[in-house]
Amino acid sequence: MNSVTEKRPHIASIRPRNTRWFIALLGVLALAPMFIYPIFLTKLLCFAVFAMAFSLLIGQTGLLSFGHAMFFGGSAYVTAHALKIWGLPTEVAILLGTVFSASLGLLVGLVAIRRQGIYFAMITLALAQMFFFFCVGLPATGGDDGINAVPRRELFSVIPIADDRVLYYVVLAFFIASFLLVYRVMHSPFGQVLRAIRDNEARAVSLGYEVGRYKLIAFVLSAALAGLAGSLKVLVFRLATLVDVSWSTSGEVILMALVGGIGTVTGPLLGAAFMLTLQSALQGLAQWMPVAQGAVFVVTVLLLPRGIAGTLGQIRKRSRHNPSDKPINHVTTPHGNNRAARALVDKTDTNA
């Protein structure tokens, strides 16, 4: 287990080759409704955006949020309420939902970022649980029934999203915008600083970076994006429920990101596709879902820690012998540099 020579998944730079892949992907997504039920695809894109939001956070900053459902579901509630109760235009409702999530992200981030690693995860879980209870008690959320029959009014007063196909292309537009945004962030100086903080926070501090602020911005961005996904989801299902803010939803997005490949660009989409396919496969056996999810977690961590996209990228790289690969980062590859893990390896190493 040669941790120092393990390679970091290559973060694709903007090269002609990649642009071609991207166009191809767009083509596939544009034509997909002809072959696959549009609602399924729209749902896929919503969850892909959700997964991108989560993956951005853990991939670039190494922060594992166990409570991302609060941003997704919180925004869903706000959007649903804005559309149904306040009768606001669709685009305003989406904006409100996203802004709400960003604000909640700011509040939560200010608290949670004070601890790192597993503590951070536990704190986000606890705060999300608190938000869950808050939603349970709040009459405006509709309690167990949720907010249903949410109207799908024309976007910008012209685009008829009541039609499932039109909605698909609208959501696709949002997906592409999010995709490009995430891509841009990953390849910006901001993204580089985030990765530097993730790999060696002490060093980043000594270099003069305001580590807390960077992490907070990334967190808020991630929350906002998750909120966008939640808003879009309301348009698809015309429904916002307690499930959206529950920790099972938090768990699902983690699974999607993990299976797809943390830190990769296409991972979230692949992971979302995998999850939704799994869900439809288990259609009649809903009570097996947690077992299936748990099994996927276990298998992925043990056998495919890089996820689908990550492993494919690894295979592709090995066959190209790219010499410019740099040493590992500690989240997207499994062999961590963290002291605790090393101590434990020393404790139990049976390979003399």
Partner 1 sequence: MDELFGIPLPALAGQLTLGLINGAFYAMLSLGLTVIFGMLRLINFTHGAQFTLGAFGAWMAMQYLHIPYWGALILVPVVVAALGILTERILLRRVYQMDELFQLLLTFGLALIAEGMLSVAYGSSGLPYDNPMPGGMDLGFMFLPYYRAWIVTASILACFGTWFAIERTRLGAYLRAATEKPQLVRTFGINVPRMITLTYGFGVALAALAGVLAAPMDQVKPAMGSALIITVFAVVVIGGMGSILGSVVTGFALGILEALTKVYYPPASSVVIFLIMTIVILFKPVGLFGRQA
Partner 2 sequence: MPKMSDTPSLALRVRDLHGYYGPSHVLHGMAFDVPTGEVVTLLGRNGAGKTTTMRAIIGLLHQRTGSIRLNGKETIHLQPEMIAPLGVAYCPEERGIFASLSVEENLMLPPILNPDGLSLNEVLAHFPRLAERAKSPGTKLSGGEQQMLAIARILRTGARFLLLDEPTEGLAPVIVEHIGKVLRELKQRGYTILLVEQNLEFAMTVADRHHVVEHGQIVDSFTNDELLSDTDQLQIYLGV
- What are the phi and psi torsion angles at 336 (to 5°)? -75, 160
Q: Are 267 and 310 in contact (CB under 8 A)?
A: yes
Q: Which is nearer to partner 2, 8 or 187 (CB)?
A: 8
Q: Which is nearer to partner 2, 122 or 345 (CB)?
A: 345
Whole-number minimum distance, CB 6 to partner 2, in Å? 10
Return the DSSP state at 349.
Answer: -
User: Which residues contribute to the site for partner 1 (CB under 8 A)?
Assistant: 1, 3, 58, 62, 64, 111-112, 114-115, 117-119, 121-123, 125-127, 129-130, 133-134, 137, 247, 251, 254, 258, 287-298, 301-302, 305, 330-331, 334-336, 338, 340-348, 350
* Residue whose pair of structure tokens reads 């900053």 in the numeric block: 61
Return the DSSP state at 155.
Answer: B
Whole-number minimum distance, CB 181 to partner 1, in Å? 24
**Distance separating alpha carbons of residues 183 and 186, to the nearest angstrom:** 5
Angle at which helices 289-303 and 247-260 pack, to 10 degrees?
A: 40
**Distance separating alpha carbons of residues 171 and 77, to the nearest angstrom:** 18
Whole-number minimum distance, CB 311 to partner 2, in Å? 23
Chosen from partner 1, partner 2, none, partner binding at 294 (C-beta under 5 to 8 Å by type): partner 1
Whole-number minimum distance, CB 178 to partner 1, in Å? 24
Q: Which is nearer to partner 2, 89 or 334 (CB)?
A: 334
CA atoms in the 13 A half-sphere facing the CB of 335: 11
Q: Which is nearer to partner 1, 115 or 203 (CB)?
A: 115
CA 195 from centre of chain: 17
Return the DSSP state at 328.
Answer: P
303 near partner 2, judged by CB under 8 A: no
- What are the phi and psi torsion angles at 7 (to 5°)? -95, 150
Report in angstroms the alpha-carbon separations of 25 from 20, 68, 179, 232.
9, 27, 12, 21
Identify which range of 44-52, 74-82, 298-306, 343-351 contacts partner 2 by CB under 8 A.
343-351
- DSSP-derived 3-state class of residue 240: strand
**Distance separating alpha carbons of residues 279 and 291, to the nearest angstrom:** 12
4 near partner 2, judged by CB under 8 A: yes
Could you say which of 2, 157, 287, 324 contacts partner 2 (CB under 8 A)? 2
Chosen from partner 2, partner 1, none, partner binding at 298 (C-beta under 5 to 8 Å by type): partner 1
Chosen from partner 2, partner 1, none, partner binding at 227 (C-beta under 5 to 8 Å by type): none
Chosen from partner 2, partner 1, none, partner binding at 78 (C-beta under 5 to 8 Å by type): none
Whole-number minimum distance, CB 147 to partner 2, in Å? 54
- DSSP-derived 3-state class of residue 159: strand
What is the secondary structure of 192-256 as a DSSP string?
A: HHHHHHHH-HHHHHHTT--HHHHHHHHHHHHHHHHHHHHHHHHHHHS-B-GGGGSHHHHHHHHHH
350 near partner 2, judged by CB under 8 A: yes
158 near partner 2, judged by CB under 8 A: no
Whole-number minimum distance, CB 345 to partner 2, in Å? 9
Q: Are 122 and 66 in contact (CB under 8 A)?
A: yes
Chosen from partner 2, partner 1, none, partner binding at 275 (C-beta under 5 to 8 Å by type): none
Chosen from partner 2, partner 1, none, partner binding at 352 (C-beta under 5 to 8 Å by type): partner 2
Q: Which is nearer to partner 1, 14 or 110 (CB)?
A: 110
Residues 5-24 that bind partner 2 (CB under 8 A): 5
**Distance separating alpha carbons of residues 287 and 305, to the nearest angstrom:** 26
349 near partner 2, judged by CB under 8 A: yes
Whole-number minimum distance, CB 334 to partner 1, in Å? 4
Return the DSSP state at 85.
Answer: T
**Distance separating alpha carbons of residues 62 and 199, to the nearest angstrom:** 8
* Interface residue list for partner 2 (CB under 8 A): 2-5, 349-352
